[in-house]
């Protein structure tokens, strides 16, 4: 999507803020003893109150309103009977649609107590998101974003999960362009003002290879190592991008 009118930006902001507030609401309910299905129900109720619909349900008939991935699960974790416990690394990905506009956001957190290496992984993955966002400026190229994200991974000695990328969004859940989390010189498209996409680094403590679980949805690290993800939907500007999913108190 390329935002060309104030009406389009307003619509995108509305759904972006709903996604961001839903994510924050869910993260605040993460605690030992809650199941991922109960957590998903909390997010579903919040979204319904805002009049929004789940993007993965609308697009893929996904079996949950949100994706909740725990520990070795990287992404697309189906909400179910898994009971969260102290020390778990929990990722929540929220995408939704309202009035023809779509947005997508995600964040990882640790249920205390946190292992230092897990806390650092989350801190650096979040830092990579903002390093990428700083390069999302009209006139730069896609690979400038990718290179900035990869640089954070290299400094921290983390693996980038290469199969998972940022993506265009706005009029559908997944659009062009693809935004890789590592440098590839052929991703040289010039960013234009008004362009809408997600930036979402995925870092792992292990080798960064993933497999699909038997449920056909959940992606997990092949070596069962911990991973983290942080994501915003952004609108490219001449300067700092607009993060439509960023909310007060969130990531």
pLDDT single digits (tens) 101-136: 999 999 999 999 999 999 999 999 999 999 999 999
Residue 1 lies in a domain: no
> What band does 21 get if pLDDT is binned at 50, 70 and 90?
very high
Residue 250 placed within a domain:
no
- pLDDT, the chain, mean: 98
Tell me, yes or no, whether 249 lies in a domain.
no
Q: Which residues of 79-114 are buried (b: 16+ CB within 10 A; e: fewer)?
A: beebebeeebbbbbbbbbbbeebbbbbbbbbbbeeb
Of the chain, the percentage scoring pLDDT greater than 90 comes to: 100
Interval 127-160: pLDDT, tens: 999 999 999 999 999 999 999 999 999 999 999 9
Q: Is residue 109 part of a domain?
A: yes
- Share of residues in the chain with pLDDT > 70 (%): 100
- Identify the domain containing residue 126 by its residue range: 6-243
Is residue 124 one of the residues assigned to a domain?
yes
The pTM (predicted TM-score) of the whole model is 0.97
Q: What is the pLDDT of residue 33?
A: 98
Quote the number of domains for the chain.
Answer: 1
pLDDT at position 99, please? 97
CATH code of residue 212: 3.90.230.10
């Amino acid at each position: 999507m390329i935002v060309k009118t104030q009406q389009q930006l307003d619509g995108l902001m509305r759904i972006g803020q709903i996604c961001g507030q839903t994510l924050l609401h869910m993260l605040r309910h993460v605690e030992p003893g809650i199941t991922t299905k109960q957590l998903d129900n909390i997010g579903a109720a919040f979204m319904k109150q805002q009049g929004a619909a789940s993007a993965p349900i609308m697009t893929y008939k996904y079996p949950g309103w949100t994706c909740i991935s725990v520990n070795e699960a990287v992404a697309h974790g189906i909400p179910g009977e898994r009971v969260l416990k102290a020390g778990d690394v929990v990722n929540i990905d929220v995408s939704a649609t309202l009035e023809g506009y779509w947005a997508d956001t995600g964040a990882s957190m640790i249920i205390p107590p946190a292992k230092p290496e897990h806390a650092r992984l989350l801190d650096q993955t979040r830092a990579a998101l903002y390093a990428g966002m700083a390069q999302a400026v009209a006139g730069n190229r896609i690979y400038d974003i990718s290179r900035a994200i990869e640089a954070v991974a290299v400094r921290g000695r983390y693996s980038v999960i290469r199969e998972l990328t940022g993506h265009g969004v706005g009029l559908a859940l997944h659009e062009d362009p693809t935004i890789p989390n590592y440098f590839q010189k052929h991703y040289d498209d010039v960013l234009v003002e008004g362009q809408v996409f997600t930036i979402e680094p995925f870092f792992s403590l292990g080798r960064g290879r993933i497999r699909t679980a038997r449920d056909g949805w959940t992606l997990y690290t092949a070596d069962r190592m911990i991973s983290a993800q942080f994501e915003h939907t952004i609108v490219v500007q001449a300067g700092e991008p607009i993060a439509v999913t960023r909310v007060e108190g969130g990531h």
